[in-house]
Amino acid sequence: MRVSPPETARSVSVIRRHGLILVLFAALTTLLTWPLARHLGNAIPGDAFDGWQNFWNLWWMRKALLEEHTHPYFTTALYHPTGVSLWFQTLNPFNGLVSLPVQLAGNLFWAYNAVVFLSFVLAGYGATLLAATVLGRLPGATPGRTWAAALTAGAVFTFSPFHFAHLLGHMQVFSLEWAPFFVLYLQAALRPQVRQRRRFVVLAAFFLVLAGLCDWYLVLYLGWLTLLYALWLAAGRRLGLSQVGAMVAIVGLFLLVMAPLLAPMVVESLRFDFMRPPPGQIEQLSADLLAFLLPSGQHPLWGDWAARLRSRLPVSPSESTLYLGLVAMALAVYGLYRQGRRLAFWAVAGGVFAVFALGPVLHVGGEVVRLPGGRPLPLPYALLLRLPFLEIARTVARYDLMVTLCLGLLAAGGVQALVSARGRLWPAGLALALVVFEYAAVPYPISPPDTPAWYHELARDPRPGAVLNLPMTWDRPNYLLFQTVHGKPLTAGYITRTDPRTYPERLPVLSDFRHGGPDINAVDVARYAAAVFAFADIRWVVVDRYQMPGGEERRHTEALVRAIFAGHNPVYEDERITVYETRPPSEPLPFIELGYDWGPRQPGPVRRLRREATFIVHSPATAAYDLVVSPAGVDLLLYDQTGQPVPPVAGAAHRFPLALQPGANRFRLQAPAGDVLIARLELDLRPSPSAHRTAAYEPATP
């Protein structure tokens, strides 16, 4: 079929319009992230913290898929030798996959920054398309006015202070580009008597899948928006069976495609609770009411002034920067005034998401608002936290993402009303310029790598073994950056949720470094370090003074290192790092590994024994020792790995004779009376005659 000249011209015009929109947002992204464009191949935007974790995520996706030929949701590159699950890691696999060609053709910096530009440009483009569709249904709309006004929605959404705040390092959050595309096709699929409903259902599910491959938070937000839209249609008596069927089909297709990722996450969340935040953290990571009104501290003109005002907010700028903008809010109010009924849903949805962002209790100016009597003022989100799995989404303030999308649509409605009233397009250009100016965060901070030269030497060392980076009281993302250079496994590593199944949480010596002090299975660190290092396959110990703040943490770490490596010279040292190589143990020593069913370490140190918990005695040879449990006098039972009871030493209820075989000897400690606090699990290395004499206890060979 031949295309007539008018249709050809119309197609060319549409392509040109969309191309110009993409070029506009690419140019504005270049301007507003300056000087990033000058450092695309040697730096990333942000504050040199979480950005390196996402930098590592891109590296790991390539390594897992192209080198190890495995799925990326488990790695032994971190927490070697056992490895660690990455189901709850902010892995954003879409970005790892889509940036693979760039990474292979260039380097990781090019790949990371390609994701940055992709997210900003497509977010602006998608919000513009959504706004053009919404505004195109308003009375008196013309293509020129609609598209000119829609650009404001794109600018509000993609250049919001929220987006720039998370550009500091949260790739999974700043990859918000698929939200407007999903909403666009959701609305299309739910229109009454629409043709090609199946096509729109498939497209909506497709973009929801892409959102899930960037960030599960985004799926949660879009799920709430879908529910709100369904309720809105039902309230207006516009929700029929065909629309309900379309929503069910969208959700069903999403679950079908994402089941291989969702199912293991559900299973893991039912078995363990480490992915759930500790009490109070959700409240801490909720929005402060003033955060919506306080300008960003990144603005080139009033940023310093705003930063002083914002200093009372309790969380980091990346989580508390939620400013909506005076220009956008004024345009939104005008849009509601002129087109209130037709834009009302976006005002209601934006308000609901703003209330959600405030979390379970109200905060104003860094303080909890309290009712008479001292009880915190509860908010609706406190009820939502009763729903299964919802508490896993700990950073509630990020609901602001949906607030900015709704605000952008309302502001675009205001711009269209201005353009219609004036009969000219210049108000649209002025509105776009004012929004961009108010949101500007230039010059945007960038982070070049600070990898010490020794790691490049390590990359050329063919010997196996893991790197223990110190300090280790908490995991520094910089160690992940260094690993992308040297490629050796790490004994620890910065992951999104600390996993209690990892060795640094459970092995002596390693836990001394991790916790800044001994655990209940503590040993003489200087004597046992070689045995534990050999067991954990640690070859290199790197002390990084740039990563070590002063005070007790530095004193503790340096004291342990001096004790362990007394009389041994480092293999490398400069003004920043000191590197030691481990040595084989000079004497065979048994030690205790705590099971991950113990309660977390508490000051003392103590751990809660929740009726029962396991531990493993790693023994280099056949031996008989006594296990000493403190506090004494607690009624405790001990069972070996076959389930047979281990009777205590006569007259000493807190002392149990252990007959050990070479390797791992598993035991289960039980408190029949209920939970107790255990302060010490210690092996008495004097030979235990009781273990040989006790006929009732016959240990099984592992």
Does residue 391 carry a pLDDT above 60? yes
Q: In 308-406, where do the E strands start and end?
A: 363-364, 367-368
135: burial class by Cβ within 10 Å (0-12, 13-18, 19+)?
A: buried
Q: What DSSP string runs through 94-125? A: HHHHHTHHHHHHS-HHHHHHHHHHHHHHHHHH
Closest Cα partner for 506 from 539, 536, 475?
A: 536
Give the domain CATH number at 667: 2.60.120.260
308 exposure class (CB count in 10 Å sphere: 0-12, 13-18, 19+): exposed
pLDDT at 48 over 60: yes
Which residue blocks in 215-325 are alpha helix, DSSP H?
216-235, 241-271, 281-284, 303-310, 317-320
Residues 37, 61, single domain; the answer is yes
> Domain check: are 140 and 272 in the same one?
yes
- Residues 537, 615, single domain; the answer is no
Tell me the C-alpha to C-alpha distance, in Å, between residue 681 and each of 586, 607, 626: 24, 10, 10
Structural domain ending residue among the three candidates 556, 581, 606: 581
Query: Distance between CA 357 and CA 289 in Å, rounded?
Result: 9
The answer to whether 397 and 319 have CB atoms below 8 angstroms apart is: yes
Backbone angles phi, psi at 657, to 5 degrees: -80, 130
Render pLDDT for 573-609 as a digit per residue (tens, 0 to 9).
999 999 999 999 998 899 999 998 999 999 999 999 9
- Return the pLDDT at 28: 98
Domain shared by 635 and 547, yes or no: no
Would you say residue 640 lies in a domain? yes
Instruction: Report the SS3 class of residue 536.
Output: coil
Domain membership of residue 700 (yes or no) is no
Q: How far apart are CA 325 and CA 294, in angstroms?
A: 9
- Give the helix/strand (H/E) hosting 573: strand 572-573
468 and 488 in a common domain: yes
Is the domain of 637 the same as that of 573?
no
Q: Is residue 329 part of a domain?
A: yes
Question: Of residues 571 and 635, which shows the higher confidence score?
Answer: 571
Band of pLDDT at residue 697, cut at 50, 70 and 90: very low
Averaged pLDDT, 503-527: 95
User: Are residue 604 and residue 646 in the same domain, yes or no?
Assistant: yes
Is residue 7 in a domain? no
* Average pLDDT for 668-676: 90
For residues 488 and 602, state if they share a domain.
no
Q: How many domains does the chain have?
A: 3
pLDDT tens digits, residue range 173-182? 999 999 999 9
pLDDT in tens, 376-390: 999 999 999 999 888
Query: Over the stretch 104-149, which tens digit does the pLDDT of each residue have?
Result: 999 999 999 999 999 999 999 999 999 999 999 888 788 899 999 9
Q: Which domain holds residue 466?
A: 454-581
Domain boundary among 554, 581, 608: 581
On the question of pLDDT at 493 being above 50, the answer is yes
Report CA-CA distances (Å) from 248 to 186, 187, 235, 619.
Answer: 12, 14, 19, 56
Are 223 and 342 within one domain?
yes
- What pLDDT sits at residue 698? 44
pLDDT of residue 102: 97
Query: Could you give the 3-state DSSP secondary structure of residue 72?
Result: coil
Domain boundary among 439, 473, 489: 439
Q: Do 193 and 306 sit in the same domain of this protein?
A: yes
Each residue's pLDDT tens digit, 335-367: 999 988 889 999 999 999 999 999 999 999 999
Residue 447 lies in a domain: no
Residues 221 and 298 in one domain: yes
Residue 6 is assigned to a structural domain of this protein = no
Place of tokens 């390594």: 63
Instruction: Indicate left, alpha or beta for 393 from its phi (over 0: left) and psi (-120 to 50: alpha).
Output: beta
**Does 221 fall in a domain?**
yes
Do 371 and 286 fall into the same domain? yes
Distance CA 437, CA 442 (A): 10
Q: Taking 80 as the threshold, does the pLDDT of residue 552 lie above it?
A: yes
The answer to whether position 698 is within a domain reads no
- Amino acid occupying residue 688: S
Per residue in 301-340, pLDDT tens? 999 999 999 988 888 888 999 999 999 999 999 999 998 8
What pLDDT is attached to residue 127? 98
Whether the predicted pLDDT of 1 surpasses 60? no
pLDDT digits (tens, 9 = 90+) for 429-488: 999 999 999 999 999 999 999 999 999 999 999 999 999 999 998 878 999 999 999 999
Look at residues 33, 24, 342 and name the one whose alpha carbon lies nearest to residue 155.
24
